[in-house]
Amino acid sequence: MIPPHTSRVVEVKIPSELGYERVAREAAASVARRLGFSPERIEELKTAVAEACTNAIRHGSKSDARMKVVVVLTADDAKLDILVKDPGAGEAPPNQVIAPDIQAQIEGRSPTGGLGLWLIRQIVDQAYFEENEDGGHQFRMIIYRLTDDGQPASEDSHPVQANLENSNP
């Protein structure tokens, strides 16, 4: 029996090549299912993870498949902590995220781009870049499981234990 409040860590390493973000996305969804995330919340998580990995591939390692993007998923009873690390071979992460002005884009007054990071910020509970001792970039996202009344789960709930017991009789 797994005691409550025990973190579980899953690490996924993908080539820095567009398309492989799908692998990280599905891994995150699988972990979130075990945590008891709702299907809707899992869809949000999948979008956030895929966008973060796409940024790490395109901007953090210039889509060079010889490099790796590492995704560390740390699950506890209430939340999923997702760390996306890239080698830092590309441009520096942006200092601010600006909401997309679709009308300006359609009228040609504003370039497209930056939408992925903005979307992530709308979806997850916390998202920020961190210092990385290796010189690469490190982007952390935290997403809470929502309870039946739509509130973030507290540390007192133990759905992981229940799911594990159900799936491993």
Partner 1 sequence: MSEEIQVTIRFEKGATIIDLAGDVTTFAEEAIDKAYQTASSDGAHNIIFNFRQNDYINSAGIAILIGIVTEARKRDQRLLMTGLSNHFQKIFRMVGLTQYADLYPTLEEALDALEKAT
Q: Which residues bind partner 1 (CB under 8 A)?
A: 15, 17-20, 22, 25, 40, 43-44, 46-47, 50-51, 54, 100, 102-103, 105-106, 108, 112-113, 115-116, 119, 122
Nearer to partner 1, 46 or 137 (CB): 46
Q: Please, what is the minimum distance in Å from the beta carbon of residue 152 to partner 1?
A: 18
- DSSP 8-state class, residue 68: E
Helix locations, the chain, DSSP H: 21-35, 39-55, 102-106, 115-123, 159-167
Q: Please, what is the minimum distance in Å from the beta carbon of residue 1 to partner 1?
A: 34
Residue listed under structure tokens 């601010």: 96
Nearer to partner 1, 15 or 136 (CB): 15
- Asked if 85 and 32 count as a contact pair (C-beta separation under 8 A), the reply is no
Nearer to partner 1, 100 or 159 (CB): 100
Count of residues in the chain: 169
* Secondary structure tally for the chain: helices H, strands E: 5, 5
Nearer to partner 1, 95 or 112 (CB): 112
Q: Please, what is the minimum distance in Å from the beta carbon of residue 63 to partner 1?
A: 10
- Asked if 97 and 114 count as a contact pair (C-beta separation under 8 A), the reply is yes
- DSSP 8-state class, residue 92: P
Q: Please, what is the minimum distance in Å from the beta carbon of residue 71 to partner 1?
A: 15
What is the spatial distance between Cα 139 and Cα 94, in angstroms, rounded to a whole number? 11
Nearer to partner 1, 24 or 160 (CB): 24
Q: Please, what is the minimum distance in Å from the beta carbon of residue 43 to partner 1?
A: 4
Quote the tokens at residue 113.
């781009």
- Asked if 152 and 145 count as a contact pair (C-beta separation under 8 A), the reply is yes
